[in-house]
Amino acid sequence: MRVDWKPVFLALSFMVLGGGALKAPAQEADWGGAGDGDRDHRELHIQHTVTTSQTNFPQSLFMYHVLDGPDSNGEVHGLRGTISLRNHGAEFSEVLWELAYWQGSCPVDDQSLAGANIFWTEIQKNPNQSEVTLPVDLHFPDPLPMTGCIGLIFAGGPLVQGAAAVTMSADLHLEYRRSGPPTNAVIGLAGEYCFGQNWGCQNATVDSRDAFAVPIQVPAGHLVELYGSISDSPFDGTENFGPLPKGQVWGAINDLYLLPGGCGQFGDNLNSQGFPNPTPLATLYSWLPHDAIHLDSVPMDYQIPQGGTSKAPLTREIEALLPYPVKVDAGDCVVVIYGRKGNGATDNETQVNAVLAP
């Protein structure tokens, strides 16, 4: 059977393979307390469900007009609700969720997302005939930029032709207010790497000692928050993918570091497509300079029943408010390390963004 891997996601945008755009009515409400200081606080209710059996990650795009349209500035203070991924069969599936804004004009159908400014991403994977639900509860003390033209984008489905249908549902509340020109920026730190099979994702390895380290140069400012989600998952145990993890435990290592002065050896360890080469995990850690700042660590483990295998996906929402603003000079580098514990074939993906304040 044919397996269709999703398009490569680079920075804050992705190539689109099919889908459609709909203009949704804006369902706004006031939020916050009474008084003049809260009168511009608003809430946008975003609720959509799509069922598909298409491969090639068909995209859905739903547009909302709020404030005074794309020429008006706003700031996002919170996002809460749920996202879910339901498999009607036992085949592996995944979905990438995104929120974006547009400036200048609000497109009727921007399937290329060329003008989109993506400010929220989360990822879900499911290798079982089940429904997985991820609560979303994010707060932005340093608010995210937006305009009055907002879009919910999600792309996903099964990877194998002939697989059963997949249902993707979002029920979200976006909390925002009117503002002046934006001062904060969103930096994408996403990536996807496969272990235990020699194909798929942005790169892959079958060597259990190997890991991947993604270097991302960032502009000057102060890092204040990391947010999004990480989903590390086995596949479905069929011949379309590598084997399921077995033994005592399987898990994932997810570390984020800031390297002052540049990406160093990490920047030299890239293939012709710009993705990191598989490298022993111990070697990657040895490349970290003495002044590297450890921004966050997200280890995830699953105890495998004795003598069994695991089809348990490990998914976690990330909200890390840094204890103090971390100064970043132009050319400094964030390195995201992807490691794996145990054996079997897994798809490890990070959809994390950083808030950069002046």
pLDDT band at 20 (very low <50, low <70, confident <90, very high): very low
> Counting beta carbons within 10 angstroms of the beta carbon of residue 252, is it exposed (0 to 12), middle (13 to 18) or buried (19 or more)?
buried
**Of 51, 28, 58, 59, whose CA–CA distance to 41 is shortest?**
28
What is the C-alpha separation between 329 and 262, in angstroms, rounded? Answer: 10
Rounded to the nearest integer, the mean pLDDT of the chain is 91
Residue 6 pLDDT class (50, 70, 90 cuts): low
Query: Is there a single domain that holds both residue 100 and residue 54?
Result: yes
Q: Which of 161, 182, 203 is the last residue of a domain?
A: 182
In this structure, are 71 and 123 located in the same domain? yes
pLDDT value of residue 105: 87
Summarize pLDDT for 92-114 with one digit per residue, the tens.
999 999 999 999 888 877 778 88
Total tally of structural domains belonging to the chain: 2
Q: What value does the CA radius of gyration of the chain take, rounded to a whole number of Å?
A: 20
- Structure confidence at residue 10 (pLDDT): 33
Per-residue pLDDT, 40? 81
Token pair in block for residue 234:
């086995």
Average of pLDDT values for 197-222? 97
Kindly tell me if the per-residue pLDDT of 14 is higher than 90: no
Distance CA 201, CA 208 (A): 17
Tell me the whole-structure pTM to 2 decimals. 0.92
pLDDT of residue 110: 77
Task: Clarify whether residues 126 and 43 are in a common domain.
Answer: yes
Q: What is the pLDDT of residue 7?
A: 53
Residues 56, 144, single domain; the answer is: yes
Task: Label the pairing between strands 59-65 and 19-23.
Answer: parallel
For 248, left (φ over 0), alpha (ψ -120 to 50), or beta? alpha
Domain co-membership, 117 together with 191: no
Q: Tell me the two tokens of residue 109.
A: 């159908």
> What distance in Å separates the CA atoms of residue 115 and residue 232, rounded to the nearest whole number?
30
Let me know whether 5 and 124 are in one domain: yes
Site of tokens 């059996």: 53
- pLDDT greater than 70 at residue 2: no
E strand intervals along 127-201? 131-147, 149-158, 166-178, 185-188, 191-195
Give residue 28's pLDDT band: very low, low, confident or very high (50, 70, 90): low
Is the pLDDT at 289 greater than 70? The verdict is: yes
Residues 236 and 93 placed together within one structural domain of the fold:
no
Asked if residue 17 has pLDDT above 80, the reply is no
The one-letter amino acid at 296: D
- Give me the pLDDT at residue 353, please: 98
Per-residue pLDDT of 180-205, as tens digits, reads 999 999 999 999 999 999 999 999 99
CATH of the domain at 329: 2.60.120
Which residue range forms the structural domain that includes residue 232? 184-358
Rounded Cα gap, residues 98 and 113, in angstroms: 11
Same domain assignment for residues 276 and 333? yes
Give the span between the Cα atoms of 211 and 195, in whole angstroms: 8
Predicted local confidence at residue 108, as pLDDT:
76
Q: Which of 156, 182, 208 is the last residue of a domain?
A: 182
Return the percentage of the chain with pLDDT > 70, whole number: 89
Regarding whether 166 and 33 lie in a shared domain, the answer is yes
Asked if 8 and 148 sit in the same domain, the reply is yes
How many C-beta atoms surround the C-beta of residue 182 within 10 A?
A: 17
β-strand pairing of 191-195 with 204-205: parallel
Domain boundary among 164, 182, 200: 182
143 shares its domain with 201: no
User: Could you tell me the end-to-end alpha-carbon distance of the chain, in angstroms, rounded to an integer?
Assistant: 50
Please tell me whether residues 2 and 90 are part of one structural domain. Answer: yes
DSSP 281: H
pLDDT of 72: 95
DSSP letter assigned to residue 6: P
